[in-house]
């Protein structure tokens, strides 16, 4: 018999003496109380299911209660075809068997299932395959406070429990029942530890770890517990189980009482303020670092564009240069030509070295401060040299006189290219990107300064072409004793020559006298704490 009461359909077996004589008389069907024989249902399952579906929809039924164990499997087959049935209550106090379980597994619509009992392995499989909450009525009797305080009466209570409270220290019974709970439960998310004990916490963590539980938060109550013990225990446990906590998302939280929060409000505000300040400083630092990086990048790009433009100027002049108009490669000091030196034309050399008038006329139109061009072999140092009325201007300006923190290669304002001083000094920033004097550091490498062709520097002025033989290379803490341009006496000059040669990291075996004129290249090193210096003497080829 299928009997409808409000939104509930109750299915039960009628005794033979209660069956109406006019059962098969279709003219008097009552849709609130339908009766079919079991054989008829089996033979006409689809027809009965369709008919019941229409009645159920009309009566707005969404629950079914089965009163007799022998018809459970058959009735589940029917309700499996009825989408509007969301809750099923199996009333017989018997455990669900495998046949019934397989029929339940076919259902796509049930949201709530209540049974007397179901084996654990079937419940777990049903839980994995269905979006279904299973309730059991079997009472599980425990003597522990843990089970009773958390109202864990039935198997389904244990299986579906999402949060538990631990209000007392564990007794032996609590330990046994808690192990049963952890083994059965599949939904635990929060453990409230209201009565703190270091040994209980360690036991809980070990049990969670042994059962590979994941995504659990342990909330510890501050009120009534020793906060120092809590902090100490948490630190030790985190050290022992750090990997497990990280891989399985096990988290801890301390619930502070209102009284504690009131007492520590000012302290907490100060702490939060400090945290915000630190965070602000970090964000500001990162922002400034980003801006500085962007600034350096754009300024380095500007320098490289100028380099490319200068090389293009040299190339254009070189393309226009007449081979037959070449001058001798070097000018000689005091017009003295060595006896073993020929005055015949040399092989072709780029106008970069030869056609000075044309090159420097073009450069002077771009920047009237241009005084020469410096080249150091096997480095990126290949720049026109400028000179201002002080040694500050070109520290932060490029060749086009635009502001640029990377500056340009410039000659000491005290020097003169018309009459070379005893010490001609050229400065440049040590830029990490390798521009300006950023590659002057190569000169410190033995593989660089031991090569003869690297030991000659070219510094051509707008007046003459000059070659300079390196006599000393060294690093020294920030000092100015090598930055004198002219000396009053030969003795002072000789002392200077002895000083700079004595500092050299490599013996260049050069004879230096007070008749020689020196070229000095200077840049910073070690974040401005030191100086990297190269000295060379003017030579005659």
| Measured distance CA(436)–CA(409) in Å, rounded | 6
Tell me, yes or no, whether 331 and 254 share the same domain: no
DSSP 212-240: T--SEEEEEE-TTS-HHHHHHHHHHHHHH
Separation of alpha carbons 326 and 55, rounded Å: 113
How confident is the model over 20-79, as pLDDT tens digits? 555 544 444 677 888 998 899 999 999 999 999 999 999 999 999 999 999 999 999 999
Residues 456 and 367 in one domain: yes
321 and 393 fall within a common domain: yes
Counted domains in the chain = 3
- Identify each DSSP E strand in 247-352 by its residue range: 250-255
Q: What is the pLDDT of residue 227?
A: 87
432-454 confidence digits (pLDDT tens): 888 899 999 999 999 999 899 99
**Of residues 432, 463, 459, 479, the one with CA closest to residue 520:** 459
Q: Are residues 387 and 498 in the same domain?
A: yes
> Which SS3 state, helix, strand or coil, does residue 244 take?
helix
Q: How far apart are the first and last CA of the chain?
A: 123
* 287 located within any domain: no
Q: What is the mean pLDDT of residues 13-20?
A: 69
- 379 vs 141, more confident: 379
What are the backbone dihedrals phi and psi of residue 4, each rounded to the nearest 5 degrees, phi first? -105, 125
Work out the pLDDT band at 148, boundaries 50, 70, 90: confident
Q: Does 335 fall in a domain?
A: yes
**Is 290 inside a domain boundary?**
no
Decide if 470 is inside a domain: yes
pTM: 0.47
Q: Domain check: are 328 and 254 in the same one?
A: no
Domain boundary residue among 136, 171, 199? 136
Listed residue (178, 179, 190, 182) closest to 159, CA to CA: 182
Q: Would the pLDDT of 165 be above 80?
A: yes
Q: Tell me, yes or no, whether 495 and 380 share the same domain.
A: yes
309 and 412: one domain?
A: yes
pLDDT number for residue 18: 57
Residues labelled catalytic: 524
pLDDT tens digits, 461-520? 988 889 999 999 999 998 889 999 999 999 999 999 999 999 999 999 999 999 999 999
- CA-to-CA distance for 128 and 134, rounded, in angstroms? 12
% of the chain surpassing 90 pLDDT: 47
Indicate the pairing of strand 163-166 with strand 190-193.
Answer: parallel
Look at 105-109, 270-274, 293-297 and tell me which has the smallest mean pLDDT: 270-274
Q: What is the pLDDT of residue 51?
A: 92
Q: What is the mean pLDDT of the chain?
A: 84
Task: Confirm if 77 and 107 have CB atoms less than 8 A apart.
Answer: no
Least confident stretch, 265-274, 342-351, 524-533: 342-351
What's the rounded Cα separation, in Å, for the pair 343 and 526? 47
CA angle, residues 265, 268, 270, in degrees to nearest 5: 110
CA dihedral of 236, 240, 243, 247, whole degrees rounded to 10:
-70
What's the CATH number where 319 sits? Answer: 2.40.260.10
CA distance 332 to 351: 19
| Residue carrying the six token digits 């022992």 | 240
The tens digit of pLDDT for each residue in 383-396 reads 999 999 999 999 99
Of 158, 236, 172, give the one whose Cα is nearest residue 201.
236
Given pLDDT bands bounded at 50, 70 and 90, which one contains residue 143? low
**Size of the chain, expressed as the number of residues it contains:** 541
Q: 163: how many CB neighbours lie within 10 A of its CB?
A: 14
Tell me: do 320 and 218 sit in the same domain.
no
Beta pairing partners, 446:
none
CA distances from 226 to 50, 220, 222, 337 (A): 66, 11, 7, 97
pLDDT grade for 328, boundaries at 50, 70 and 90: very low
Are 58 and 193 part of one and the same domain?
no
Do 504 and 425 reside in the same domain of the chain? yes
Residues facing 468 on adjacent strands: 457, 538
Establish if 415 belongs to a structural domain.
yes
- Summarised one tens digit per residue, pLDDT across range 270-289 is 667 778 888 888 888 887 78
Full residue range of the structural domain in which residue 352 is found: 299-539
Kindly compute the dihedral angle of the four CA atoms of residues 219, 222, 227, 233, in this order, to the nearest 10 degrees. Answer: -20
């Amino acid at each position: 018999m299928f009997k409808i009461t409000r939104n509930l359909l109750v299915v039960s077996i009628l005794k033979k003496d209660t069956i109406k004589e006019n059962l098969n008389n279709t003219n008097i069907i009552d849709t609130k109380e339908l009766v079919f024989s079991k054989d008829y249902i089996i033979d006409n399952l689809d027809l009965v299911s369709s008919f019941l579906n229409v009645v159920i929809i009309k009566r707005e039924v969404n629950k079914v209660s089965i009163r007799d164990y022998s018809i459970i499997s058959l009735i589940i087959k029917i309700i499996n075809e009825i989408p509007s049935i969301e809750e099923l209550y199996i009333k017989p106090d018997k455990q669900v068997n495998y046949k019934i379980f397989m029929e339940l597994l076919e259902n796509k619509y049930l949201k709530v299932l209540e049974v007397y009992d179901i084996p654990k392995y079937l419940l777990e499989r049903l839980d994995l395959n269905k979006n279904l909450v299973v309730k059991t009525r079997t009472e599980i009797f425990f003597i522990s406070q843990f089970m009773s305080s958390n109202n864990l009466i039935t198997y389904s209570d244990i299986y579906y429990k999402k949060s538990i409270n631990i209000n007392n220290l564990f007794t032996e019974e609590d330990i046994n029942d808690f192990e049963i709970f952890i083994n059965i439960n599949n939904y635990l998310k929060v453990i409230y530890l209201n009565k703190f004990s270091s040994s209980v916490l360690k036991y809980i963590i070990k049990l969670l770890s042994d059962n590979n539980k994941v995504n659990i938060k342990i909330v510890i109550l501050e009120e009534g517990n020793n906060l120092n013990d809590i902090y100490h225990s948490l630190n030790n446990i985190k050290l022992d189980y750090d990997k497990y906590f990280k891989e399985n998302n096990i988290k801890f939280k301390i619930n502070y009482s209102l009284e504690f929060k009131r007492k520590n409000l000012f302290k907490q505000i100060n702490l939060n303020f400090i945290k915000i300040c630190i965070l602000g400083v970090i964000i500001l630092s990162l922002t400034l670092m980003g801006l500085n990086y962007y600034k350096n990048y754009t300024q380095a790009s500007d320098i490289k564009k100028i380099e490319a433009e200068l090389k293009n100027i040299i190339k254009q002049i070189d393309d226009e240069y007449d081979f037959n108009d070449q001058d001798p490669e070097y000018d000689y000091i005091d017009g003295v030509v060595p006896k073993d030196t020929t005055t015949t034309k040399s092989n072709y050399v780029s106008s970069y070295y030869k056609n000075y008038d044309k090159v420097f006329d073009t450069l002077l139109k771009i920047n009237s401060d241009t005084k020469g061009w410096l080249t150091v072999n096997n480095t990126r140092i290949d720049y026109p040299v400028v000179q201002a009325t002080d040694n500050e201007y070109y520290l932060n300006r490029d060749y086009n006189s635009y502001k640029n923190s990377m500056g340009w290669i410039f000659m000491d304002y005290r020097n003169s290219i018309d009459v070379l001083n005893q010490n001609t000094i050229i400065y440049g920033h040590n830029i990490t990107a390798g521009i300006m004097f950023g590659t002057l550091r190569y000169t410190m490498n033995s593989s660089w300064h031991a090569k003869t062709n690297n030991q000659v520097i070219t510094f051509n002025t707008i007046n003459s072409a000059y070659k300079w033989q390196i006599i000393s290379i060294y690093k020294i803490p920030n000092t100015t004793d090598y930055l004198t341009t002219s000396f009053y006496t030969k003795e002072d000059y000789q002392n200077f020559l002895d000083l700079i040669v004595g500092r050299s990291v490599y013996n260049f075996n050069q004879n230096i006298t007070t008749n020689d004129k020196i070229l000095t290249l200077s840049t910073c090193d070690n974040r401005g704490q030191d100086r990297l210096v190269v000295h060379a003497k003017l030579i005659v080829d």
